[in-house]
A = this chain, B = another copy of it.
Amino acid sequence: MTSQAASPVSGASLATGQRSLGDPSVRFPLWPPLTAGCPVTSTESVSYPVEVDYAYDKVPAGLFTTAPGQPRGHERWAPLLPPLHAPGLGEGGTPLVSLDEGVWIKDESRNPTWSHKDRINRVTVSAAVGAGAEGIVVASSGNHGASAAAYAARAGLRCVVIGSAGTPPAVDAFLRAYGAVVLPVPESARWPLLRRIVERFGYHPVSNVTPTHTGHAFGPEGYKTLAYEIFTELGVPAAVFLPTGYGELLFGVWKGFAELFALGLADRVPRMYSCEPSAGGPLAAALRDGIPATRVPTGATAAYAISSSVGGYRGVVAVRESGGGALLVSDAEMDAARAELARAGLWTELSAAAGLAGFRRRGDAALDGPVVCVSTSSGFKDRDLLSAEGSAELDPEDWAEVERRIRG
A residues adjacent to B (C-beta < 8 A) = 1-2, 4, 67, 70-73, 87, 89-90, 93-101, 107, 109-114, 150-151, 153-154, 158, 160, 163, 165, 167-170, 172-174, 176-179, 181-186, 189, 192-193, 196-197, 200-201, 233, 342-347, 378-380, 385-396, 399, 402-403, 405-406, 408
Q: Taking CB as reference atom, which chain B residue is nearest A179?
A: B343
Q: Which one of A94, A168, A380, A389 has the greatest number of beta carbons of chain B within 10 Å?
A: A380
B179 & A391 in contact (Cβ 8 Å cutoff) = no
A343 & B71 in contact (Cβ 8 Å cutoff) = no
B391 & A185 in contact (Cβ 8 Å cutoff) = no
> Which chain B residues border A403 with CB–CB below 8 Å?
200
Q: Which one of A178, A179, A396 has the greatest number of beta carbons of chain B within 10 Å?
A: A396
Complex A-B: 21 CB contacts under 8 Å: A1-B344, A2-B98, A90-B107, A97-B112, A109-B114, A110-B112, A150-B346, A153-B342, A153-B345, A158-B406, A165-B393, A167-B390, A167-B391, A169-B389, A170-B380, A177-B342, A178-B345, A183-B405, A184-B390, A184-B393, A197-B406
> Which chain B residues border A193 with CB–CB below 8 Å?
396, 402
Name the distance in Å between A111's Cβ and chain B's nearest Cβ: 7
Q: Taking CB as reference atom, which chain B residue is nearest A91?
A: B95
Determine the distance from Cα of A100 to Cα of B87 in the docked complex, in whole angstroms: 12
Count of chain copies: 2
> Which chain B residues border A87 with CB–CB below 8 Å?
98
B2 & A112 in contact (Cβ 8 Å cutoff) = no
Q: Which one of A173, A380, A399 has the greatest number of beta carbons of chain B within 10 Å?
A: A173
Determine the distance from Cα of A126 to Cα of B160 in the docked complex, in whole angstroms: 46
B110 & A402 in contact (Cβ 8 Å cutoff) = no
B178 & A89 in contact (Cβ 8 Å cutoff) = no
Name the distance in Å between A150's Cβ and chain B's nearest Cβ: 4
A345 & B390 in contact (Cβ 8 Å cutoff) = no
A233 & B71 in contact (Cβ 8 Å cutoff) = yes
Name the distance in Å between A321's Cβ and chain B's nearest Cβ: 29
Instruction: Choose from B111, B150, B347 the contact partner of A178 (Cβ within 8 Å).
Output: B347
**Chain A interface secondary structure, helix, strand, loop or mixed?**
mixed
Determine the distance from Cα of A150 to Cα of B391 in the docked complex, in whole angstroms: 18
Instruction: Choose from B89, B111, B347 the contact partner of A150 (Cβ within 8 Å).
Output: B347
> Which chain B residues border A110 with CB–CB below 8 Å?
90, 110-112
> Which chain B residues border A183 with CB–CB below 8 Å?
391, 394, 396, 402, 405
B90 & A185 in contact (Cβ 8 Å cutoff) = no
B181 & A406 in contact (Cβ 8 Å cutoff) = yes
List 15 additional contacts besides A110-B110, A165-B393, A167-B391; criterion CB under 8 Å. Answer: A2-B98, A67-B67, A89-B95, A114-B114, A150-B346, A169-B387, A169-B390, A172-B391, A177-B347, A181-B408, A182-B390, A182-B391, A185-B393, A192-B396, A200-B403
Instruction: Choose from B154, B345, B378 the contact partner of A151 (Cβ within 8 Å).
Output: B345
Name the distance in Å between A45's Cβ and chain B's nearest Cβ: 27
> Which chain B residues border A4 with CB–CB below 8 Å?
98
Instruction: Choose from B101, B114, B169, B179 the contact partner of A385 (Cβ within 8 Å).
Output: B169
Name the distance in Å between A405's Cβ and chain B's nearest Cβ: 5
B174 & A379 in contact (Cβ 8 Å cutoff) = yes
A347 & B174 in contact (Cβ 8 Å cutoff) = yes
> Which chain B residues border A177 with CB–CB below 8 Å?
342, 347, 379
Determine the distance from Cα of A50 to Cα of B81 in the docked complex, in whole angstroms: 50
> Which chain B residues border A107 with CB–CB below 8 Å?
89-90, 112
Determine the distance from Cα of A408 to Cα of B73 in the docked complex, in whole angstroms: 32
Determine the distance from Cα of A168 to Cα of B391 in the docked complex, in whole angstroms: 10
Q: Taking CB as reference atom, which chain B residue is nearest A405?
A: B181
Determine the distance from Cα of A2 to Cα of B109 in the docked complex, in whole angstroms: 21
Determine the distance from Cα of A168 to Cα of B286 in the docked complex, in whole angstroms: 43
Determine the distance from Cα of A123 to Cα of B2 in the docked complex, in whole angstroms: 35
Determine the distance from Cα of A201 to Cα of B87 in the docked complex, in whole angstroms: 52
A394 & B184 in contact (Cβ 8 Å cutoff) = yes
